[in-house]
Amino acid sequence: MSRYRVVALVELTGACQTRCAFCARDARASTARPMTETTFLTVLRRLRPRDVRHAELAGFGEPLLHPRIEVLLGHVAGHAVPFRLCTNGEQLDRRKLGAIDGVLERVIVPLTAADEALAARLQPGLDHERVLENLRHAARMRRTRLEVAVPALPECLDALPDTVARLRALGVRHVGVSTHVHVHGGALDAPTRTLESAREIARRRDLPDSGLDRVPPLGEILESWRTARCRCVPRNASLLIDTQGRFHDCFQDAVHEHVLGHVDLMTLREAVEERERRDAPWSLCETCALRDGFGPGELALALRDRDAGDLPGRRGVG
Ligand code: SF4
Ligand code: SF4
């Protein structure tokens, strides 16, 4: 039996106000109904600290658009597994912040740019003024950490100095670059800068790579290599649970084709073990930029940078 843990990605809804340039949400059918409260409670029962490093309310949809989000957040309170939220920030108003502060360990907002025109192009339909205003309030949370992750798209990297300065002025202390979000199994055109060069830009600016948070400790990587047929680190490090309560082979599967089973019928550990018996989902891997993003050299750098990112005094993490 395997002993490594995963990051559980819990998708609450397929709805979203925007179509970010780095998201493959368009690739999937938009008919999926939001996760029911009953399914969510079953998911919570399946998440045990020995199997899950942390859980993220995330996926191919905006979690705060779930019609009963405040009720679901109430269920999360006191859970043994730390929870995070990935949100575009438009619905992160003071009322939601009241339900979040102290309940979630972290809120992560992927922001393309502070510049209105650029943000409107890369996240069309999103009310950016409102997002920035919400960030100002969210930065004052006392018990939940706010983190803004700038996706490593070329335009976002060019605008990075301005974005960081504007975020600092709003009181946001934790700003990083995410090299993880702009590659989704090939549904997006190939990024015009490689993963490596994006990481290099982040390093030069002394900003942490937010995507590295999902890189497990070395011992758990070795354990997953011992037990799983497929050695892809990003795939084995996380487990997507969709709005219908189905476990998925790889979080890059925007179309939700590669299903392992359902939370009603199997535990999370059983889903991990089912995945260990499977080969890589090759139809996705062919065009996935992460495929070459975690070779031995990159992995060594990722582990080094992730640990360095936790050191106090590193500017990106406050
Ligand atoms: S990344 Fe998030 S906010 Fe952007 S389109 Fe996808 S689900 Fe919506
Ligand atoms: S290379 Fe394949 S298994 Fe790995 S993250 Fe990409 S799609 Fe998933």
Neighbours of 33 (CB within 10 A): 10
Q: Which residues pair with 106 in a beta bridge?
A: 84, 145
Expressed in angstroms and rounded, the spacing between residue 46 Cα and the centre of ligand 2 is: 24
Q: Quote the percentage of the chain above a pLDDT of 70.
A: 84
Q: What is the dihedral of CA 276, 58, 14, 78, to 10 degrees?
A: 100
Band of residue 196 on the pLDDT scale cut at 50, 70, 90: low
What average pLDDT does this structure show over 233-245? 94
Q: In what order do the strands lie in the sheet with 145-151?
A: 174-178, 145-151, 106-110, 83-86, 52-57, 6-10, 238-241, 246-248, 259-262
> What integer pLDDT is reported at residue 315 of this predicted model?
33
> What integer pLDDT is reported at residue 190 of this predicted model?
46
Expressed in angstroms and rounded, the spacing between residue 186 Cα and the centre of ligand 2 is: 10
Report whether residue 28 contacts ligand 1, using a CB cutoff of 6 Å: no
Band of residue 153 on the pLDDT scale cut at 50, 70, 90: confident
User: Does position 159 have pLDDT exceeding 70, yes or no?
Assistant: yes
287 phi and psi, to 5 degrees? Answer: -115, 15
Ligand 1, atom 3, residue with closest C-alpha:
88
208 phi and psi, to 5 degrees? Answer: -75, 155
Neighbours of 22 (CB within 10 A): 20
pLDDT 10s digits, 89-139: 999 999 999 999 999 999 999 999 999 999 999 999 999 999 999 999 999
Domains in the chain, CATH or no CATH each? 6-307 (3.20.20.70)
Task: Please report how many Cα atoms fall inside a 13 Å half-sphere around the Cα of residue 219, on the Cβ side.
Answer: 3
Expressed in angstroms and rounded, the spacing between residue 226 Cα and the centre of ligand 1 is: 34
Expressed in angstroms and rounded, the spacing between residue 8 Cα and the centre of ligand 2 is: 16
User: Does position 191 have pLDDT exceeding 50, yes or no?
Assistant: no
- pTM (whole model) above 0.85: yes
Band of residue 226 on the pLDDT scale cut at 50, 70, 90: very high
Pocket of ligand 2 (CB under 6 A): 185, 232, 234-235, 250, 252, 280-281, 284-285, 288, 290-291
Mean pLDDT of the chain: 86
Give the ligand whose atoms come closest to the C-alpha of residue 279. Answer: 2
